[in-house]
A and B are shown apart, each in its own frame.
Chain A
């Protein structure tokens, strides 16, 4: 087989998907980029869309709502991700322990359910269980002697509620990823280690962690992207409120697009966010993730 042919063959496989994504994905991206330099109001589109240079970018970076939403999203990822990781790892260890086989198999099935639950619906039943007057969370908290609190009405507690539902839905994902990752550790490695030390913590650090890193990284990339995109669940739970206290980036941009109809600034914010996520994912991949080597 000639070298020429060898380089062409993979493209024959890749091109349909590549071309289709380009077709579907490129136009809106170019559109967004162009719009970000225009004054573009959807509701007064008939007045024209003049070029305004970097105005939209300056407005975005000076907008306390956008900066606030970015910082809030960053904070959310920084808190939720480690919690999901620790809890997920814990559940993975439970599932990996070689006893109670039936229960373990059942748990594995059950863990799939939160992941599969429609996020819109998660927000809906979230609003029910966190309701101040008749929510079951307040009832359970009340059993512990704590006065009913207004979960969705207080800025801090509303964020806690969003956070709790996010962790509920996606910790199982981390757990299942980690469970599979644990299985990649060669048995001999662990057995050899038993001969030298019986410290569980040491075993975790020296033997298991190196094997766990790829799984943790994959889960982290997946979850970071997911949380940056997080919209549906918060939309039905709090709509970003009260005030702007649960306004993550997607919610803020949705309101800018469809309540203020300011597509120009929304586009500028999008471009900024795109750069941020691409840099972030490159960093993740460079530092942790092994790219596919042939």
Chain B
């Protein structure tokens, strides 16, 4: 898992004068011999850097384009060829913040995402632990049942949820969304936490148990702290999906005041003309908090995305 550690260990080091055959594709820094080889390695390094730059540009460009469009006047937006340098305008942000309840919607999204994450962890972390650390009948079925919730197509469940919410007078309640979001939050947390708990040596827990700690004491005081990276990562992913969710939020929150940010973004598309600048400003407002968050926690996120992959 730890890339840096592995690569820092010079593969040729400690082997004295025995130089392994030259790998021409993947250069190994310690093995550069002749100046021709050195030049070739420099060239490969340059290509490598160029490749990385291409990846960065491709990944960033669409986001950059949206953000830049949100600061352009309509004329600059529609200009062909595109304008690359211009004096930014804040007019679209003014429109979005004035005409829609975007700030309120962002606050709604934030609270829903936060509560969803909290509940998913409360439910998913113990479940992941139970599946990872114990042998019992139906264990594999239980695991599959949890994970298969991730496979359900949300469109399918919108009408049933809508009708039951109507009967229970829950329509428009953020708790309704928080509860429904568990259908993807819990499976995600369970999937990741099973792998996380399995990667922790069993002896650590056994030592604690010998010392007289109860099962739950050991879980809370020993296992959860050890599995913290997985917990953080599950939380981040659940929060992302909850923040981004559209279908349920659209159908189950009728009140304009309690709508979530993605739903509000859609309202710009209804007119005869798409107000591109406003739409891009709204998009930027919705995406920027998540991007900042994602970049801040990227180390955890990278780890989280890969937990399911590594045993």
Question: Which residues of A line the B interface, CB within 8 A?
Answer: 6-7, 9-14, 16-18, 20-21, 24-25, 27-29, 31-32, 35, 42, 91, 94-100, 103-104, 106-122, 124-129, 133-134, 136, 139, 165, 168, 172-173, 176-177, 179-184, 187, 190-191, 194-195, 198, 200, 214-215, 218-219, 222, 225, 228-229, 231-232, 235-236, 249-250, 253-254, 257-258, 263, 266-267, 270, 273-274, 277-278, 280-282, 285, 290-292, 294
Residue of B52, B60, B148, B291 with highest tally of chain A CB at under 10 A: B52
Which residues of chain B are near A173, meaning CB under 8 Å?
305
Which residue in B53, B55, B194, B306 is a CB contact (below 8 Å) of A91? B55
B161 engages A28 (CB within 8 Å): yes
Q: Are A17 and B287 neighbours in the complex by a CB distance under 8 Å?
A: no
Task: Point out the residues of chain B lying under 8 angstroms from A257, CB to CB.
Answer: 155, 158-159
Q: Can you name the residue of chain B whose Cβ is closest to the Cβ of A172?
A: B59
Distance of A225 Cα from B241 Cα, bound (Å): 14
Question: Interface of chain B, helix or strand or loop or mixed?
Answer: helix
Task: Verify A139–B182 contact, CB threshold 8 A.
Answer: no
Residue contact A187 to B152, C-beta cutoff 8 Å: no
**CB within 8 Å of A: which B262-301 residues:** 262, 265-266, 269, 274, 276, 279-280, 283, 286-287, 290-291, 293-295, 298, 301
Taking a contact as CB atoms under 8 Å apart, the answer to whether A176 and B154 are in contact is no
CA distance A229 to B187 in the complex (A): 15
B51 CB within 8 Å of chain A: yes
In the complex, B212 has a CB within 8 A of chain A: no
Contacts of B303 in A (CB 8 A): 180
Contact surface of B with A, Cβ cutoff 8 Å: 1-3, 6-7, 9, 11, 20-29, 45, 48-49, 51-53, 55-56, 58-60, 62-63, 65-66, 69, 77-82, 122-124, 126-127, 129-137, 139-140, 142-161, 163-164, 179-180, 182-183, 186-187, 190, 194-195, 198, 215, 219, 240, 243-244, 246-247, 251, 261-262, 265-266, 269, 274, 276, 279-280, 283, 286-287, 290-291, 293-295, 298, 301-303, 305-306, 308-311
